[in-house]
């Protein structure tokens, strides 16, 4: 689905100013898991949520408008492969609902989950931008939906949008820095510190909504166990200790970080 310029601007204005459920409210519901995964959000509200992502919010308004003109809504089922390792020129995605596993090859044969893409995150950058095979597989952990922008559309933007290069460099720089931080959090740390480190970095990447206490990290305890390579029992024990200390608050498929800096205090944990 693509719109002409006038229709796009009109719909985006509705999303910003006149929607029944305002974009900030929709974004807050998405972060807290308050949206049903089987019902996709209206396009105007999905576009507004993407505009508020940390990447697009830092770009000139004209670039965001030009990029999102090419966006379409895509629904996916649980366990569906959204983008495979061998897929070339895959799309750039902005996750609206659900959760997506990022899996990478291990030992040349198996693929192993290393990250859970949370709601309101971009993913699939490498294949979408370069047109080459992905280095990772993205698989739906739950049913959900996302905005999708094709590789062909990105090529059009590259040829016609002056700010394209700087915006893409900013996105890739953020992705590389995030992956390095994840690797550092896993290397040489015990189980407790791996969990603390992952929560610290995810809370830093998330956006705190106005009037919201703390920062919502939309991951379940099982998903924390996957991305930190820690047993489910240890995750439960460490999170309960953090909650007792007033650093986090546990909820259904989410963790609210109340005191982010205290997550990286000098602590020890075991498995």
Q: What is the pLDDT of residues 64-106, one digit of tens each?
A: 999 999 999 999 999 999 999 888 889 999 999 988 999 988 7
For position 11, what pLDDT does the model report?
46
Question: Which of 2-11, 129-138, 209-218 is predicted least confidently?
Answer: 2-11
- Does residue 103 sit in the same domain as residue 218? no
If one counts the domains in the chain, the total is: 2
Among 184, 203, 232, where does a domain finish?
184
Instruction: Give the orientation angle of helix 191-205 with respect to helix 221-228, to 10 degrees.
Output: 110
User: What is the span of the domain harbouring residue 224?
Assistant: 191-264
Q: How far is CA 221 from CA 8, 9, 71, 150, in A?
A: 40, 41, 32, 33
- Does residue 256 sit in the same domain as residue 146? no
Q: What is the pLDDT of residues 108-119, one digit of tens each?
A: 667 888 888 888
Tell me if 24 is assigned to some domain: yes
Among 159, 184, 209, where does a domain finish?
184
- Does residue 233 sit in the same domain as residue 176? no
Tell me if 269 is assigned to some domain: no
- Does residue 140 sit in the same domain as residue 52? yes
- Does residue 196 sit in the same domain as residue 142? no
Among 184, 213, 240, where does a domain finish?
184
Tell me if 231 is assigned to some domain: yes
Q: 163 near 79, Cβ under 8 Å?
A: no
* Residue closest to 230 by CA, chosen among 256, 203, 199, 252: 199
For position 10, what pLDDT does the model report?
47
- Does residue 226 sit in the same domain as residue 174? no
The reply to whether the predicted model has a pTM over 0.95 is no
| Cβ neighbours of 57 (radius 10 Å) | 12
Q: Does residue 186 surpass a pLDDT of 70?
A: no
Q: What is the CATH number of the domain that holds 230?
A: 1.10.10.10
Tell me if 59 is assigned to some domain: yes
Tell me if 195 is assigned to some domain: yes
Q: Does residue 2 surpass a pLDDT of 50?
A: no
Question: Which of 15-19, 176-180, 247-251 is predicted least confidently?
Answer: 15-19
Q: Where are the alpha helices (DSSP H) in the chain?
A: 5-13, 23-32, 43-51, 54-57, 61-68, 125-130, 151-160, 164-186, 191-205, 221-228, 232-244
- Does residue 80 sit in the same domain as residue 100? yes
């Amino acid at each position: 689905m693509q719109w002409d310029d006038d229709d796009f601007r009109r719909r985006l204005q509705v999303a910003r100013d006149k929607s029944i459920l305002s974009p900030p409210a929709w974004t807050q519901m998405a972060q807290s898991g308050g949206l049903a995964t089987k019902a996709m959000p209206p396009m105007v509200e999905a576009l507004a949520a993407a505009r508020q992502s940390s990447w697009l919010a830092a770009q000139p308004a004209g670039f965001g408008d030009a990029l999102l003109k090419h966006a379409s809504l895509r629904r996916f089922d649980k366990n569906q492969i959204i983008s495979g390792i061998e897929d070339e020129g895959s799309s750039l995605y902005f996750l609206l609902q659900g959760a997506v596993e990022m899996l990478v090859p291990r030992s040349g044969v198996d693929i192993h989950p290393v990250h859970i893409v949370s709601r309101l995150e971009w993913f699939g950058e490498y294949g979408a931008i370069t047109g080459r095979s992905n280095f990772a597989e993205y698989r739906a952990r739950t049913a959900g939906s996302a905005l999708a922008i094709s590789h062909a559309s990105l090529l059009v933007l590259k040829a016609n949008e002056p700010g394209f290069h700087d915006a893409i460099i900013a996105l890739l720089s953020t992705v590389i820095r995030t992956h390095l931080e994840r690797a550092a959090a896993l290397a040489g740390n015990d189980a407790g510190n791996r969990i603390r480190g992952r929560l610290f970095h995810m809370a830093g990447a998330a956006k705190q909504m106005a009037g919201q206490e703390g920062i919502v990290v939309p991951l379940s305890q099982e998903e924390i166990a996957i991305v930190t390579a820690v047993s489910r029992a240890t995750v439960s024990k460490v999170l309960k200790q953090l909650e007792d200390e007033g650093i986090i608050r546990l909820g259904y498929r989410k963790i609210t970080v109340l005191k982010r800096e205290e997550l990286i205090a000098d602590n020890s944990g075991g498995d």
